[in-house]
Amino acid sequence: MENLVDRFSNDFMAFVKARDPNQVEFHQAVQEVVESLAPYLLDNPKYLRMKILERLVEAERIIQFRVPWLDDQGNVQVNRGFRVEMNSAIGPYKGGLRFHPTVNLSIMKFLAFEQVFKNSLTSLPMGGGKGGSDFDPKDRSDQEVMRFCQSFMTELYRHIGPNTDIPAGDIGVGGREIGFLFGQYKRLRNEFTGVLTGKGIEWGGSLVRPEATGYGLVYFVGEMMKARQETLSGKVVAISGSGNVAQYAAQKVIDQGGKVVTLSDSAGFIHDPEGIDRDKLAFVFELKNIQRGRIREYAEKYGCYYQAGKRPWSVSCAVALPCATENEIHREDARLLLANGCQVVAEGANMPCTPEAVHEFLRAKILYAPGKAANAGGVAVSGLEMAQNNMRLNWTREEVDGRLQTIMKTIHEMCGKYGRQPDGWINYVNGANIGGFVKVATAMLAQGVV
């Protein structure tokens, strides 16, 4: 069986790589899934006969388009826009938009592929998609961001809709961008629908959507630790990033009595051994969401350590929550975290750990949760926003937060169902991949060769 599994995985990856040789991030995401699924597929040949995996790695549709816009000096700028509509077997395409200079088709496809499994795990009826642009909102004025968003939506609007494809935020796309995108969609279509999630509360948004990814991550960590009769209370927590996911993860860790000692951005990280308390976190919210400044300014204000060009994984911690971007924990970082006593790693970002780092965590049998399980709270509350839009009513904060907690608990149970080893330890990678696969594959089998 061992050899058969390896041969199957290697052959399948050779097939994927031959089709798109340069899409390294996409290969990385597929490889992780294939390694988990191979034994399950070999035991269930109906999926092999119907080429479910071959269909899953081929997007149903990819849209690539030109985004021309005028900057504040009146110069014409041209960016590239994408929407990858990966799989709609269990619901309309759903997933965020990323505006970042590194965006390319490989990154869009890896994110859309991950989204299919993640959305399935939420137990809500959402297919998977992802989109974005190589536009960099950093250092752009609000007017420039608005003109860019309007141009982006002027092409995207014809491909999306509340029952077709519902984008949301991701890196570089927050409330401001969703507002501009929604305004242009409404103007072009002449209809007010729940076509985007992450909307403002006054115009169709859901309470708790801004907090949902970070809060959901911490709820998931709570479930993982419960099995070891532990909680976050008193634990030292290292967080990377300082955007949406990092901010609300930090807030919930502090609420639960944990001590957050690091944050970062693309320029470096801060280490505050005293802990980032509520007042200091309020400064970070203001710095990042209003001033749009750099995390270095936190160290300048509070007189703590800042290191440029590095990530926070050398800092001793019990829990690590990578919440910035992909491939930010490498093998050496993983070894350092383990050597310093880290026992829990849960991914707020999508694919922040390289495959070598993941193998280190799995070999050490710590509690390690991949993003498609641990950060699914964001898209789950997006699904709840869609439900509220369809009913034309708003749930209370308690109602949405309660449902989010239940969803994260259910995802955790799903990981246990498919990932628990004979010694009781849960391989969350296998659990999330198989758990996410089964529902989508069952729907695909039922719907014929489409």
Ligand X SMILES: NC(=O)C1=CN([C@@H]2O[C@H](COP(=O)(O)OP(=O)(O)OC[C@H]3O[C@@H](n4cnc5c(N)ncnc54)[C@H](O)[C@@H]3O)[C@@H](O)[C@H]2O)C=CC1
- Considering CB distances under 5 to 8 angstroms, the limit depending on partner class, which of ligand X, ligand AKG, none binds residue 171? ligand X
Q: Which amino acid is at 30?
A: V
Interface with ligand X, residue 242, by CB under 6 A: yes
Per the DSSP assignment, residues forming a β-bridge with 95 are: 167
**Least distance (Å) from ligand X to the CB of residue 329?**
11
**φ and ψ at residue 82, rounded to 5 degrees:** -140, 150
Q: How many CB atoms lie within 10 A of CB 290?
A: 8
- Considering CB distances under 5 to 8 angstroms, the limit depending on partner class, which of ligand X, ligand AKG, none binds residue 241? ligand X
Q: Which amino acid is at 448?
A: G
Give the full edge-to-edge strand order of the sheet including 319-322. 305-308, 268-271, 259-265, 236-240, 319-322, 344-346, 367-369
3-state secondary structure of 19: helix
**φ and ψ at residue 36, rounded to 5 degrees:** -70, -40
Which residue, chain included where needed, has tokens 């305004």? 183
The answer to whether the CB of 139 falls within 8 A of the CB of 294 is no
**Least distance (Å) from ligand AKG to the CB of residue 97?**
8
Find out whether 94 is annotated in a ligand binding site. Answer: yes
The residue ranges of DSSP E strands in 288-414, in sequence order, are: 305-308, 319-322, 344-346, 367-369
- Considering CB distances under 5 to 8 angstroms, the limit depending on partner class, which of ligand AKG, ligand X, none binds residue 225? none
3-state secondary structure of 346: strand
Residue with nearest beta carbon to ligand AKG: 96
For ligand AKG, the binding residues in 182-211 under the rule CB under 6 A are 197
Shorter beta-carbon distance to ligand AKG: residue 235 or 412: 412
CA-to-CA distance for 348 and 322, rounded, in angstroms? Answer: 6
Shorter beta-carbon distance to ligand X: residue 244 or 427: 244
* 235 part of the active site: no
- Considering CB distances under 5 to 8 angstroms, the limit depending on partner class, which of ligand AKG, ligand X, none binds residue 95? ligand AKG
- Considering CB distances under 5 to 8 angstroms, the limit depending on partner class, which of ligand X, ligand AKG, none binds residue 205? none
Interface with ligand AKG, residue 382, by CB under 6 A: yes
The answer to whether the CB of 299 falls within 8 A of the CB of 306 is yes
Query: Of 109, 130, 259, 280, which is the active-site residue?
Result: 130
Find out whether 169 is annotated in a ligand binding site. Answer: yes
For ligand X, the binding residues in 115-174 under the rule CB under 6 A are 169-172, 174
SS (H, E, C) 73-121: CCCEEEEEEEEEEEECCCCCEEEEEEECCCCCHHHHHHHHHHHHHHHHH
Among 194, 378, 419, 436, binds ligand AKG (CB under 6 A): 378
**Least distance (Å) from ligand AKG to the CB of residue 88?**
14
Q: Which stretch binds ligand X (CB under 6 A): 182-190, 318-326, 357-365, 387-395?
A: 318-326
Site string for ligand AKG, 331-350 (x = CB under 6 A): -------------------x
Token pair for 175 = 């409330």
For ligand AKG, the binding residues in 82-111 under the rule CB under 6 A are 94-96
Find out whether 118 is annotated in a ligand binding site. Answer: yes
Among 29, 56, 121, 168, binds ligand AKG (CB under 6 A): 168
The answer to whether the CB of 327 falls within 8 A of the CB of 106 is no
Find out whether 244 is annotated in a ligand binding site. Answer: yes
Query: In whole angstroms, how large is the CA radius of gyration of the chain?
Result: 21
The answer to whether the CB of 293 falls within 8 A of the CB of 267 is no
CA-to-CA distance for 353 and 349, rounded, in angstroms? Answer: 9
CA neighbor of 238 nearest in space, from 284, 209, 270: 270
Among 128, 205, 378, 431, binds ligand X (CB under 6 A): 378
- Considering CB distances under 5 to 8 angstroms, the limit depending on partner class, which of ligand AKG, ligand X, none binds residue 94? ligand AKG
Strands 236-240 and 367-369: what pairing? unpaired
Among 85, 170, 272, 401, binds ligand AKG (CB under 6 A): 170
Residue ranges at the known binding site:
94, 115, 118, 169, 213, 244, 382
Chain residues binding ligand AKG by CB under 6 A are 94-96, 115, 118, 168, 170, 197, 350, 378-379, 382
Annotated catalytic sites, by residue? 130
Chain residues binding ligand X by CB under 6 A are 169-172, 174, 213, 241-246, 264-266, 323-325, 348-350, 375, 378
Residue ranges at the known binding site for substrate:
94, 115, 118, 169, 382
Residue ranges at the known binding site for NAD(+):
213, 244
